[in-house]
Every structure is written in structure tokens, then in C-alpha cells.
Amino acid sequence: MEKMKRPTVGFVGTGVMGEPMAAHLLDAGYPLVVFNRTRSRADSLVSRGARWASSAGEVAAASDIVITIVGYPHDVEECYLGEGGIIERAREGALLVDMTTSTPSLAVRIASAAAKRGLRALDAPVSGGDVGAREARLTIMVGGDEDAFKEAEPLFSAMGKTWTLAGGPGAGQHTKMANQIAIAGSMLGAVEAFAYARAAGLDLKTTLDAISAGAAGSFSMSTYVPRIISGDLAPGFYVKHFIKDLSIAIDEATGLGIDLPGLALATQLYERLAEKDGAELGTQALWLLYP
């Protein structure tokens, strides 16, 4: 029996997260068209058979499904709503999946603009960092139409461990904000726990073994504290991008009329770290504020 032809997938944004995510789609047999502002970051995918495109719009014109994971909301807006962008050039009936952490309001605008052209759009931000992306263990939080979600599920299964439809357009981004608020607290707690352990003269590896399997355990504890102990502050997730996420969360919380002092504190600390030349480091570099 002849194999069913897989849809062509366009992938915009092949950085720390996007490159391994796109590679999993290649492994799953999807024809891939890629674009990244720094072309060299897509070289490994092109060498494996992906086709290079010169812009996000060109990716859309050549693809049945378009996935984006870029840096900031203004990058998302430019990719989708800019002149010659994804929505303008996408094929009729195409499925658009933004996996960037962005603003819920922008996700709603993109979904509305897409619908006017007969396109489907999902906001589907991810959690799991570079490790989750490399190991196809991402958590994917989705907003949009249920039929579009079902169409995207085979792709999500190639890149992630869990994927959940949280509601209509924007619900994926709201869910990601809840996720980032939780991570901010757990990262702050992990760093302060080990600052305390160091000050008390404890062996950090022994302390990690002792507390990580109990109630203190968390993704931050098991993934990032070993990097702290080994002196590895390279980005699995950039401080500058985390500040962006936390700033969105603060704005959304303000709009919802709620006060989140823990979130505010974490944001202030990460902003202080960025001012100390830490913006390009990984989020575990919060450790540098505890000499």
C-alpha cells in the first residue's frame, strides 16, 4: 500500500529551540521549508534535506502548514501581519501554528486575520527548554479551533510529550503565562536554596541528591541546578527571553486586575541580572546574583 504523502511544513525560527524541533519533523518524514534571520543556524537542517526560503512569507507560499518560533511579539507580528508576511502569502486553507511565547491579544489578532483569508491559526507556545526540544519532550499549550488542533496533533507528537487544547485563540498564550509564573517562582526558590546550602558549607551535589527527589523537586531543580553546580550558565532559555515572558505576564495580570508580588520580584531580579551583562545567559544565571 502506498504511503500517504505528508504535508509540506514550513518552519520559521531555527534557533536554540526551533532547530531541534524542526529536526524532529524531518525525522518524522515531513518535507520541510525553513527560514531563519541568521541563515547559518538552519545549515544543519538544509544539509539534511530541508529547503531554504528567503523570508517567512516565502516559507508560507511553499507550505501546507507553517510553524513559527521566533523571539518577541514584534517578531511574530512582523512574520504574520507584515507586508509580504505569512498571512498574506499563505496557501488557501493552510494551518498556521505560532509556537513563540507571545501576547494573547496578538494571538487573537492573528487568528482573526487568518480566518478572513480562509486560513486556520493556533497559538501553541511550548515549555521544556533546550533539553525538551532536543529530546522531543516539550509541553505544548494550544489555543484555537478544535479541528485545527486535531490536524496539528501529529506534528505536536513529533516535537512534544504532551499537548493540550486550552481554549480558543489566545488561550495557549494565557496558559503559557501561568507556566512562566510558576517557573519564575521555582527557579528563584532553587537558586536561593543552593545559595543557602553553599553558605552553610554543604556539598552542593550531595544537597541536590538529598532534596531533589522529595517535595522540593522541580524541573528547575533537576535540570538547571546541575548546570549551576558545574558552572554551566549557557542558555537553554535566554534571560532576555524570560524577561520578555515575565513582562507579558505582569501586563496580563494587571489587565486582569490581580497583584502577583512573587512574579514582580522575579522579574526585578532577572532585570538586574540583565543589567549585569546576563541577558545572553541561561535563566540559571540568576545564581550570579548570589555571590
Q: Give the catalytic positions in this structure.
A: 176
- What number of other Cβ atoms are within 10 A of residue 146's Cβ? 10
CA torsion through residues 283, 144, 85, 27, sign: positive
Helices and strands (H, E) in the chain, number of each type: 14, 9
Total length of the chain: 291
Q: How far is CA 249 from CA 7, 39, 61, 258, in A?
A: 35, 31, 33, 11
Question: Which alpha helices (DSSP H) does the chain contain, by range?
Answer: 18-27, 43-47, 56-61, 73-81, 86-89, 104-116, 129-134, 146-159, 171-199, 204-211, 219, 225-230, 239-256, 261-273
Beta bridge partners of 282: 238
CA distance 271 to 175: 23
Q: Is 259 helix (H, G, I), strand (E, B) or coil?
A: coil
CA distance 120 to 178: 25
Q: Under a CB-based contact definition with an 8 Å cutoff, are residues 96 and 61 in contact?
A: no
Q: Under a CB-based contact definition with an 8 Å cutoff, are residues 280 and 290 in contact?
A: no
- What number of other Cβ atoms are within 10 A of residue 268's Cβ? 11
> Which residue's entry shows cell 504523502?
5
Cα distance from N-terminal residue to C-terminal residue, the chain: 64
